[in-house]
Amino acid sequence: MERHRFGLVFGALVAAVSILGACGGDDGTTRTSDDISNVEIDDQRGQAVVTIVMTDNVFTPQNVRVDPGTKVVWENKGRAAHNLRAFAEDGFGVGFGSPTSVLVDDTYEFTFASEGVFRYWCSLHGSNVTGMVGAVVVGDASLDATPDDAEVPQASGNLRVPQDYATIQDAVNAAVPGALVLVDKGVYNEAVTVDVGHENITIRGVDRNETIVDGEFEDDKANGFTVLADGVAIENLTARNFTTNAFFWTGVDGYRGSYLNSYRTGDYGVYAFDSVNGQFDHTYAAGSADAGFYIGQCYPCNAVITDSIAEWNGLGYSGTNAGGNLLILNSIWRFNRAGIVPNSGTGETLYPERETTIVGNLVYANSNPDTPAIEIAETAIGNGVLLAGATKNIVERNLVYDHDISGIAAIPLPEKVLNPDDPEAIDFDALDNRVVGNVIENSRVADLLNVRNITDAADPGGNCYSGNEFTTSLPADIETLLPCDANGSGTYAAPITEFVARFTETKPDGVDYKTAAIPAMPLGENMADPQNAPAVPAGGGNVPMAVDLAAITVPTKP
């Protein structure tokens, strides 16, 4: 979630339940593209100073054309640090490129004296082929589509590390599409990028718990794995101690993470952004300041998370503007500050969040004040399943218990109300969500909760509740007022004062992810026969897996 506008929303929810606004959205249908050849050049000639905004995964505008003598300022308005790495043939000779990372709210500037094309990328979120890339075109120069120094793969079959290649990155750089990079036991202090040209490779550890990629909390090792090529599968290994993410797929078609461990990361654990056709299964994520699992900015996502565990994160799952055949199934979300949080926001494209299916999950004790946490996780603490400005989701046959505020809640996200001078802000109601057949208990404010709309306080937003086992709800008699099989016998327009009070009270600060007293990582199940199993890439329709939703039942307590 890029700019986490809705972190501010929770802090002012009193206004959210009573002030009118406007709900809007974008019906975009696919992931966006970072390919510089596919993006128009923003002509900003005639200006003495041009500003490019850096948010997480994007330079805006991506490509600009300026006159010689123009100063270009890059301003970091995201949540993470970024940098600018110039292509060798473009910038090194003139000194273009940030020598260090550009921190949040900081800037980097460079004055371009002569005509030329100056392409660059953020090495933390891309490569010189794709990902977070951009270009400054000075004068009438022509923007080339692809750099000349892209890696050329060399080898097929099984590429063994360290027997054949000293590092995982060396093996990946040599791998042709379809190859298997097989990594032996050991600790590998590196950050791996899978670039375009290495599609449909599989990276596999021989032992999930003893094949370890360790970032050592070093800034130049932001992500354990950054994947920019389609169809890449990573399986049966551990990534730990990374300043940003453990496993990161961005802008790809086809991805899979199976039998993985993510442990202690400054942002996300297992992260797919602007990507479609994916799957995370049998994976463990702990100690992430944002979310253990994240899928964002995709519609339809065509993705599955299943048979996984998220604990001791800021959020167990977060998904901004994601949905459309997005399934969260048969997994455990426990001891996070908040459990499962699908949400909308204008910090990413393709809003609103919609059409996520959450079935068969065990969601409990997500009120943990001792985890790492960014602002949103600090304020969202105490909720099991939180549909935040979310639309047309299905929450069914989950066991949800032991939360300080709510078990399952549908709430609005009033960006525009809270930021009236921001032209990008939009008010998002929680609309047409279906909550059926869940077991919810021991929620200190309400097991089931439906917050009034921003657009019309008397309209419950089409959210419905039926067949749940629960004790408390706001409004009272929620299944009579808002059933899923009829229009209901009433409307809900009363303020939820106790809920609001709990959300707006002071919350415990997040703990430094590097030192938080999280439990030791448990031994995870290995995939079957990792030494000899054939490679199964994530392309060619191999993911996501087929799922029989009707066969899933409510889980039992551990």
Quote the pLDDT of residue 7.
Answer: 44
Per-residue pLDDT of 454-507, as tens digits, reads 777 677 788 999 999 999 999 899 999 899 986 555 566 555 666 667 767 788
Biggest distance spanned by C-alpha atoms of the chain: 73
State how far the Cα of 296 lies from the Cα of 294, in Å rounded to an integer: 6
49-55: strand order across its sheet: 58-60, 49-55, 70-76, 107-112
> Looking at the DSSP assignment, which residues form a beta bridge with residue 214?
240
Q: CATH number for the 36-138 domain, one of 2.60.40.420, 3.90.1150.10, 3.90.340.10, 2.60.120.330?
A: 2.60.40.420
Residues making up the chain, counted from first to last: 558
Quote the pLDDT of residue 84.
Answer: 76
Task: Note if the bond before 544 is cis, omega within 30 degrees.
Answer: yes
Domain covering 5-13+151-504 in this structure, CATH number: 2.160.20.10
State how far the Cα of 378 lies from the Cα of 370, in Å rounded to an integer: 10
Quote the pLDDT of residue 37.
Answer: 43
Quote the pLDDT of residue 22.
Answer: 26
**283: which residues sit within 8 A by CB, 6+ positions away?**
257, 258, 259, 260, 261, 262, 270, 293, 308, 309
Asked if 351 and 426 count as a contact pair (C-beta separation under 8 A), the reply is: yes
Tell me the three state secondary structure of residue 92: helix
Q: What amino acid is encoded at 463 in this protein?
A: N
Quote the pLDDT of residue 368.
Answer: 97
> Looking at the DSSP assignment, which residues form a beta bridge with residue 112?
70
CB neighbourhood size of 229 (10 A): 27
**26: which residues sit within 8 A by CB, 6+ positions away?**
349, 350, 351, 352
Alpha-helical runs (H) found in 80-188: 168-174
The structure tokens 């602002």 sit at 375
Domain with CATH 2.60.40.420 in the chain: 36-138
Low pLDDT (below 70) residues in the chain: 1-39, 56, 79-80, 87-95, 97-100, 123-124, 126-130, 144-153, 418, 457, 486-500, 503
Alpha-helical runs (H) found in 68-177: 168-174
Quote the pLDDT of residue 421.
Answer: 78
